[in-house]
Amino acid sequence: MRKTFENLLSSSSFRDASVISIAALLIWLTAVESDLYERFHQYIIAHEDKELDEVLIAFLIVGLAGYVFAIRRLLDLKKEAKARSQAEIKARWIAYHDFLTGLPNRRFFEESSEEHILDNLKSDAYSVIAIDLDGFKQVNDLVGHEGGDYLLKTVSERLVAAFPGEVVVRLGGDEFVVVASGNGRERIREKCSETIHTLTQPMTISGVHVEIGACTGYACYPQDGDSLKSLSLCADIALYAAKREGRNTVKAYQPGMSEQLKRRAELEGSLRVAVRRGEIIPHYQPMVDLQTGEIRGFEALSRWQRNGNGAANVSPATFFPLAEEVGLIVELSEQVLRKACLDAARWHGDVKLSFNLSAALLCDRLIASRILMILSETGLDPARLELEVTENALVRDVDLASEIFAALQAEGITIALDDFGTGYSSLSQLSKISFDKIKIDRSFINSFEQDETKYGIVKTMISLAHGLGIDTVAEGLETEGQLLKLKELGCKYAQGFLYSEAVPASQVETLLEEFALSDIKSCG
């Protein structure tokens, strides 16, 4: 109240009103003291010919009109001030809320005071829950941006219903955070599981049946942090751990997670440097014709030569998913493919180069033209390139993958289905896409000569391929017993440690010469 009064005293309008009021009071007092009105009245009567009374009336009318105008203008200004105040309130609401869902946004969460956010909770004990949707991008690609917006609004409504009276924030994209009352770990875990169940309920968008997944990470006050900011960071770390485990996972924050995140950040930094320096290069594992014993091709397998110190101690199974997460997969894949094509262009004869396409690359409609451009730049005949794709990679968009493969096959490139039998809907993939070759996963080849079940599966796969006119490649060949069985079943090609591990480009020609001269071609 005191501050408001001080502001009023300091305003220019108040000073003006004060001066005018004092001046008016002095004039009135002077007029009363000197009988100014009586004198003026007598003067008007004495000088009737000058018609001063008419002039006075005109002045009074003008003054009254000015007074009415001032009142109307004052009302307009008051109305304008009210509209401006409402506009400022609306602008502030827009600044601190997500326009699509109506939920508070990241700016609200980061700039609002902790007291302001926690005031809405039902108790002093609280937890922070970080939520990230799984599969949103695929749904967005499937139903378009309008459908994606509808999905986000539906998810927001489900979250608000799941946490009535709590603080639900959309951070951006498909990321949300909830500040919920209560800090019992088991109760919060149950609530997170219930939330995932709610969010993953199927929905129909534009006549299309869609489903998404979700991961959550949570942290509790005061066990995991002494402030909302620290708890938010802990919840994010727990969410990252949940996403690493897979779809629809709930994770509570644990102190060791921070160290894991630090190592992950260090690895990400090293990976960015490696891609920039071209430290990830292809090594080559031979693909051998089982009937002639000749090398028919090499599969390019990426190896990370950190600081030039030989083979990397980071597995491709680690750095390839990381590259996809941080948006480096396209640059990395094209870089390795270009190097592999340059190497293969120097191989003699018609030895093929086999290269794996990741799921992320199959989402790019321009990937076919980029691959053809790389072939043109490196001088490798398209007929000598074979592209491998796993069944799981096709799940994202089979129709788009089919278009990409058709464009590549039209140029002479062959397409192989990798890890056959380990993904989703193997027979469905074979019916939708024209493959030139299928590769039997090493998990079936391992000990299949003693395991009747595995033997039957491998036999069926090879028979199926024969029926479709498709060549077969057995992966993970390690023993002569496996070699004999594969020959008996009519498998066309094989690769594995029985022949050679993946070797650097400098050893490929030597390996070709050794195979041409040795007795390994007649092995078995």
- The verdict on residue 502 lying in a domain is yes
pLDDT digits over 28-49, tens only? 777 677 777 677 667 767 666 6
Whole-angstrom distance, CA of residue 381 vs CA of residue 435: 19
**Residue 347 sits in the same domain as residue 435:** yes
Phi-psi region of 133 (alpha: psi -120 to 50; beta: other; left: phi over 0): beta
What percentage of the chain has pLDDT greater than the value 90? 30
Whole-angstrom distance, CA of residue 332 vs CA of residue 411: 24
Tell me the pLDDT of the chain averaged across its residues: 83
Per-residue confidence (pLDDT) for residue 307, from 0 to 100: 61
Whole-angstrom distance, CA of residue 428 vs CA of residue 439: 16
Strand bridging mode 250-252 / 280-289: unpaired
Q: Report, in angstroms and rounded to the nearest whole number, the Rg of the chain calculated over CA atoms.
A: 39
Answer yes or no: pTM beyond 0.75: no
Distances (CA, A) of 136 to 56, 98, 255, 394, 505: 80, 18, 30, 17, 40
Whole-angstrom distance, CA of residue 488 vs CA of residue 275: 44
The model's confidence at residue 197, banded by pLDDT at 50, 70 and 90, is very high
Last residue of a domain, one of 30, 60, 95: 95
**Residue 110 sits in the same domain as residue 227:** yes
Give the mean pLDDT of 62-76: 79
- The verdict on residue 522 lying in a domain is no
The pair of structure tokens assigned to 432 is: 């939708």
Per-residue confidence (pLDDT) for residue 312, from 0 to 100: 46
**Residue 311 sits in the same domain as residue 407:** yes
**Residue 249 sits in the same domain as residue 280:** no
206: part of which helix (H) or strand (E)? Answer: none
Q: Is the pLDDT of residue 3 over 60?
A: no
Give the mean pLDDT of 2-16: 59
Last residue of a domain, one of 222, 254, 286: 254
Q: Count of residues for the chain?
A: 524
- The verdict on residue 101 lying in a domain is no
Give the mean pLDDT of 218-246: 88
The pair of structure tokens assigned to 398 is: 């089979």
The model's confidence at residue 5, banded by pLDDT at 50, 70 and 90, is low
Q: Is the pLDDT of residue 504 over 50?
A: yes
- The verdict on residue 519 lying in a domain is no
Sheet holding 213-220, edge to edge: 167-172, 175-181, 126-134, 213-220, 250-252
Tell me which of 59 and 111 has the higher pLDDT. 111
**Residue 297 sits in the same domain as residue 418:** yes
Considering its fold, how many domains does the chain have in total? Answer: 3
**Residue 115 sits in the same domain as residue 193:** yes
Distances (CA, A) of 315 to 278, 467, 477: 16, 37, 20
Domain that holds residue 64: 2-95
The count of C-alpha atoms lying within 13 angstroms of the C-alpha of 434, restricted to the half-sphere facing its C-beta, is 11
Whole-angstrom distance, CA of residue 118 vs CA of residue 499: 65
CATH number at residue 225: 3.30.70.270
Strand bridging mode 295-304 / 280-289: antiparallel
- Per DSSP, 233 falls in state H
Last residue of a domain, one of 42, 74, 95: 95
Give the mean pLDDT of 461-487: 90
